[in-house]
Structure 1
Amino acid sequence: MPDLLEILFGWFSSVDPNALILAFSAIGAGLAMIAGIGPGIGQGFAAGKAAEAMGKNPEHGGRPATLVMLLGAAVAETSGIFSLVVAIIMLFANPLLSKGGIVLVLAASALGAGLAMIAGIGPGIGQGYAAGKAAEAVGKRPKLQSQVVRTMLLGQAVAQTTGIYALIIALLLLFVSL
């Protein structure tokens, strides 16, 4: 009776190792970009809250709320940028190709790096939510803009930590010798 591992992974021996690593890297890069969902949702929420603030207080709250929304939305995009960087590394400067080692482990590292970046969904949504609430608050009370922005940025910095953790794990999977 054939060995189960041979059945599942026997075809690896007939595949060019670099091609296998590149294939898993392409899948990992695609998976990494799933993290763009978070910033999209978060930024949409922030834009909606800024528009709502403009509608409620067009004379005094619209412009400050828009500025807060833009600043907050820019911060919310960072997890998407992290994912983009990891995806570009895997597609165009893949360090796994130059490593010797077990091809399956290297391919799984590429896939794992992409999967790790999915964690960027959370910070994107959270930071966008903070930006939206800040835009809403500034729309109601424009004179408090500097205090609201300070509080928003502090909260967004804390919310970004999981995105940074994901980036660190993805980079470790790509660059540390296994």
Structure 2
Amino acid sequence: MTGYADFLFGWMANVDPVALVLAFSAIGAGLAMIAGIGPGIGQGFAAGKAAEAMGKNPKDGGKPATLVMLLGAAVAETSGIFSLVIAIIMLFANPLINKGGIAIVLAASAIGAGFAMIAGIGPGIGQGYAAGKAAEAVGKRPKLQSAIVRTMLLGQAVAQTTGIYALIIALLLLFVNLFA
């Protein structure tokens, strides 16, 4: 290596490959948990809309709106759960440590898996938004709760696809030696 490459990556020649993969896995696990921002925003929005529905229609719409909010918020948490699973795998059951291969590629796979899970921000926000709007609608028209919940769940299922794609890419980076 010469010049910038030696300056940037020369230090890796003196680092234990397992330590390198573990260090990058720790960074990747932290990056993966950034996806928790999405569910936090989405669930907060849903809770706010349920509280608003309770305030506007405490007699008839408050309790159904709260139930819809709780159901929707639980679904909105899935992208955060996916990210948590990837982070736990990287920290406690890291399949990259025992793989043969170039340490920097394995280390980059660990960081890539963490970065992939950041895509979970979108589904968390989108699903929370759907839950909030459903809670708001149920607060206004409690008799339509079942139709509103069906529509909300269908929309949330579609919104979840990005989180699922991210999970698949992260699992591939961790368990399939793509670059060998």
TM-score of the alignment, normalized to the shorter chain, above 0.5: yes
Cα distance, 1:3 vs structure 2? 4.2
Aligned to 1:141: 141
Q: CA deviation at 1:115?
A: 0.3
Matched, 1:56 2:56: yes
C-alpha distance in 2 between matches for 1:14 and 1:131: 52
| Identical amino acids, percent of aligned pairs | 86
Query: Equivalent residue for 2:40?
Result: 40
Cα distance in 2, alignment partners of residues 86 and 54 from structure 1: 37
Task: Name the CA distance, whole Å, in 2 between partners of 1:8 and 1:101.
Answer: 20
**Residue in structure 1 matched with residue 84 of structure 2 by the alignment:** 84
After superposition, the CA RMSD in angstroms is: 1.0
What is the CA-CA distance between 1:4 and the residue it aligns to? 3.3
Q: 2: distance between equivalents of 1:23 and 1:2? A: 25
Q: Which amino acid aligns with 1:36?
A: G
Kindly state the Cα deviation for residue 99 of structure 1 after the two structures are TM-superposed.
Answer: 0.5
1:79-158 to structure 2, matched below 5 A, reads: 79-158=79-158
Q: Which runs of 5+ in 2 are unaligned?
A: none
- In structure 1, what is the equivalent of residue 70 of structure 2? 70
Aligned counterparts of 2:103 and 2:27: Cα–Cα separation in 1: 16
State the 4+ residue runs in structure 1 displaced beyond 3 angstroms: 1-4
**Number of residues paired by the alignment?**
178
Cα deviation, 1:25-65, whole Å, max 9, x if unaligned, reads 00000000000000000000000000000000000000000
Structure 1: segments with no counterpart, 5+ residues = none
TM-score under structure 2 normalisation? Answer: 0.97
- Rounded to whole Å, the distance in 2 between the matches of 1:4 and 1:71 is 53
The alignment partner of 1:131 has SS state of helix
**CA–CA distance in 2 between the matches of 1:43 and 1:27?**
26
